[in-house]
Structure 1
Amino acid sequence: MSQKVRAVIARRKNEPVTVETVVVPDPGPGEAVVKVQACGVCHTDLHYRQGGISEDFPFLLGHEAAGVVESVGEGVTEVEPGDFVILNWRAVCGQCRACRRGRPWYCFATHNAAQRMTLEGGAELSAALGIGAFADKTLVHAGQCTKVDPAASAAVAGLLGCGVMAGLGAALNTGNVQRGDSVAVIGCGGVGGASVMGANLAGASRIIAVDIDDRKLATARKLGATHTVNSRENDPVEAVRELTGGFGADVVIDAVGVPETYRQAFYARDLAGTVVLVGVPTPEMRLELPLLDVFGRGGALKSSWYGDCLPSRDFPMLIDLYLQGRLDLDAFVSETIALDGVEEAFDRMEAGDVLRSVVVL
């Protein structure tokens, strides 16, 4: 039997979000209903509200979430009611060419729930990243539920559902940071901060945080940065080179995703070094680089989708590290808020006042 729950809705482009009643259907084959316990406020949700991702309004926002499986549909075997799970937006299919080649983190046919949640009047909702978790309960594909140790708090665990995983994975998976490497991270918000933490976890010897906000640089220090550069005051390319013996960093992570920062990342790396783009550009952005420089500097230019993570592998491992005291995920939770505080949380996020606001239900 369908249920009615509270949820945060973006009805029209650039209009404030509202808390409304949403109808959640019973799970069909391969689906699950999850009682949401916490959900982080991510910049992607703001992009949805601004119409920067699609025009398929109205949107049910929220996707960085953790909670408990309430019910499952026919054929679901990977989770069962009562399981504590982190929701993910890349539920791999196991059948596409990437999955069959043993690279499921690149899956080209990820799963979402077949049914849609609706407003009371029947209007179908577009769930943010196929999740829609600024809600008391949400309907997802069962493959979007990753079971983890319930000893972790939901407010912390849910952050692995998007931004923190994207940053950790940019360093650990895409960048393949090794012990003793030098790493520069450009942009030290939630994703960049997690990249700093990931580089530290991997054993990088020198971690250079670059940002225009001294508050974010101070936070990056707490997350493991060994050096900081305010790029309003200093040329970041020259600063990174100076801090790496004149060579540039082995791995440079662009957590901003605009042409200017990408060029900085490109020239701030060592010869044969790696650039990782994890900040998400907008469709109109264009990049121009001398092709001879691309050829002559060698190395690798990579983009990082969701930190190239495999949720079934990475989420339980990272939660275990957190519970062992080896990964300070609590550092990313700037504040906890109620469901009706999302619009104000967007303002604080844009002002750079928080790493993450987390809705606790």
Structure 2
Amino acid sequence: MMGSLPSTQTAALYRPGDVHLSIVHDYPVPKPGRGEVILKVLACGVCHTDTFLLSGATFDPRTYVLGHEVCGEVVAYGQGVDRDKIRMNQLYMSLIGDHNDHGVNGGPAIFNALGTGLDGGYEEYVKVREDLLVPVPPGVPPEVAAIAADAGITAYDAVANRAGLGPGTNAKVLMFGIGGVGHLGLQYAKHFGATVYACDIKPEARKLALELGATEAFSLLDLNNKITKESFRVDVVIDFVGINQTFQLGFNALKPNEVNFPSNPISVIVGVSPENFTLNSADLLATGAKILSTQYGSREDAVKALELFANGSVRAIVATEPLTNVNKIIDELRAFDVRGRKVVIPHGDHHGKVREFFHSLHQKS
């Protein structure tokens, strides 16, 4: 059932070789196939992965709509969709994909998924498989639910599953990059009871880290001095930047010395970059550290992240802008000039204004 949807829409297209998206106003509105629905996109987060895709690093020959942090309402059903389970008046967040999905030509599945190979949420109406929909709890607005689709899930997987932090932990955790994903990861770790230290090149990000509960926040130079001169050590490193410099600093913070002996040291790599990491095998064996990575998480992670948003345990910092501003936001991400997460709104008239709000039930009057 398609209802009275328009035949064309505004969309932001990835074209191979272009460093910016093409804004078009006559892109076809999709039709749902079996087991699929059409979501009216109410919000879609803008992610550093978009800058990675636009850099040409994946050599993707396809033209498609970017945008993988999607939240919206069902406006049309394909055949076979359970309409008692998938309802039109319910707000849904969409998973990017699942662990059964496959990539193209042997590549990772994450680059053949919603907004990362297949048409995503930088359009007014997007086609989504019904099995990828996650209902959004009451009280969580679309702007916040959207970032749960990647930033919320990925940070949760890194903290809870890869790093193994859970309720009552007393681990010391060092996090690199307090941006759209990192500012959530910091709060997850604090929620579980960890002592969190933050490192970011930007003074405003370090300030935000302290506001969100970090014990200390360092520049790269300050952290290096802390490690080399004060024997600073942690049990867990979670790197939301993913460059060789942060990897090396993090690994040095896991090395045992005469003062500190990290327990079961773990390094979790989350950030994406084209840089190679250098590591001495003798250091790795002497340290005994586990080096892990994550590219996403599970439906269960999504549900848990949304619950933390809903009950006010995690403060999602989100700014909204019109879809037509998406290239401006991508350039801001390239310059590391975004506080928290930015989200585009395909529908409605923002009049070019930016609206930032801190979603926290504890702050509501």
Q: Name the TM tier (shorter chain).
A: 0.7 to 0.9
1:351 aligns with 2:358: no
1:92-134 superposed Cα distances (whole Å, 9 cap, x missing partner): 449x9xxxxxxxxxxx978978xxxxxxxxxxxx943535101
Matched, 1:263 2:255: no
Which of 156, 161, 167 is equivalent to 2:155? Answer: 167
Tell me the SS of whatever aligns to 1:8: strand
Match of 2:180 in 1: 190
Amino acid across the alignment from 1:47: F
Matched residue, 2:202: 213
**Uncovered stretches (5+) of structure 1, i.e. residues with no partner:** 97-107, 114-125
CA contact (8 A) 1:177 1:251 kept: no
Inter-CA distance 57–186: structure 2 relative to 1 (3 Å threshold): same
Name the CA shift for 1:58/1:145 in 2 (closer, same or farther; >3 Å). same
Pair 1:240–1:226, CA change in 2 (3 A): farther
Deviates more, 1:218-227 or 1:285-294: 285-294
Letter in 2 for 1:327: V
Distance change in 2, residues 1:237/1:177 (3 Å): farther
Match of residue 139, structure 2, among 151, 154, 157? 151
Residues 1:339 and 2:327 are matched in the alignment:
no
The alignment-based identity, stated in percent, is: 28
- Kept in 1, the 8 Å contact 2:37–2:128? The answer is yes
Match of 1:140 among 103, 108, 128: 128
Q: 1:268 to 1:44 in 2, by over 3 A?
A: same
How far, CA to CA, are the matches of 2:336 and 2:77 in structure 1? Answer: 39
Q: CA RMSD in A?
A: 2.6
What is the alpha-carbon distance in structure 2 between the residues aligned to residue 142 and residue 348 of structure 1? 33
Is this contact kept in 2: 1:241–1:268, CA < 8 A? no
After superposition, what is the alpha-carbon deviation per residue over 1:127-155, rounded to whole angstroms, capped at 9, x for unaligned?
43535101111012222211122431000
Amino acid of the residue matched to residue 239 of structure 2? D
Where do residues 220-235 of structure 1 align in structure 2 (5 Å cutoff)? 220-231=209-220, 233-234=221-222
Give, in whole Å, the separation in 2 of the partners of 1:241 and 1:168: 30
**CA distance 1:230–1:247, change in 2 (3 Å):** closer
Question: How far, CA to CA, are the matches of 2:98 and 2:298 in structure 1?
Answer: 9
TM-score (norm 2): 0.80
Aligned to 2:32: 27
Mapped partners of 1:242, 1:72: distance in 2: 62
8 Å contact from structure 2 (residues 163, 236) kept in 1: yes
Number of equivalent positions: 324
Matches within 5 A, 1:177-326: 177-178=165-166, 179-204=169-194, 206-231=195-220, 233-234=221-222, 236-240=223-227, 246=231, 248-269=233-254, 270=262, 272-282=264-274, 285-306=275-296, 309-311=297-299, 313-326=300-313
Q: Is the 8 A contact 1:87 1:131 kept in 2?
A: no
Letter in 2 for 1:259: N
Conservation of the 8 A alpha-carbon contact between 1:35 and 1:69: yes
User: How far apart, CA to CA, are the structure 2 residues paired with 1:207 and 1:146?
Assistant: 30
What CA distance in whole angstroms lies between the structure 2 residues aligned with 1:353 and 1:247? 29
Between the aligned partners of 2:312 and 2:87, the Cα distance in structure 1 is 28
Displacement, 1:222?
A: 1.8
Displacement of 1:240 in angstroms is: 4.9
Q: Equivalent of 1:8, from 12, 18, 21? A: 12
C-alpha separation in 1, matches of 2:178 and 2:308: 22
Q: Distance in 2 between matches of 1:145 and 1:295?
A: 43
Displacement of 1:238 in angstroms is 4.7
Give the AA of the match of 2:270.
V
The residue type equivalent to 1:337 in the other structure is E
Change (3 A) 1:139 1:180: same
Contact in 1 for aligned 2:16/2:62 (Cα 8 Å) = yes
- State the shift of 1:353 in Å: 2.7
| Contact kept in structure 1, 2:227 and 2:252, CA below 8 Å | no
Q: Which amino acid aligns with 1:81?
A: M
Q: What corresponds to 1:105 in structure 2?
A: none
Q: Which residue of 1 aligns with 2:105?
A: none
TM-aligned CA deviation for residue 348 of structure 1: 2.2
How far apart are 1:75 and its partner, in Å? 2.9
Give the C-alpha shift of residue 33 in structure 1: 1.1
Check whether the contact 2:197–2:217 (CA below 8 A) recurs between aligned residues.
yes
- Give the match for residue 353 of structure 2: none
Q: Which residue of 1 aligns with 2:55?
A: 50
Give the deviation of 1:296 after TM superposition.
Answer: 1.6
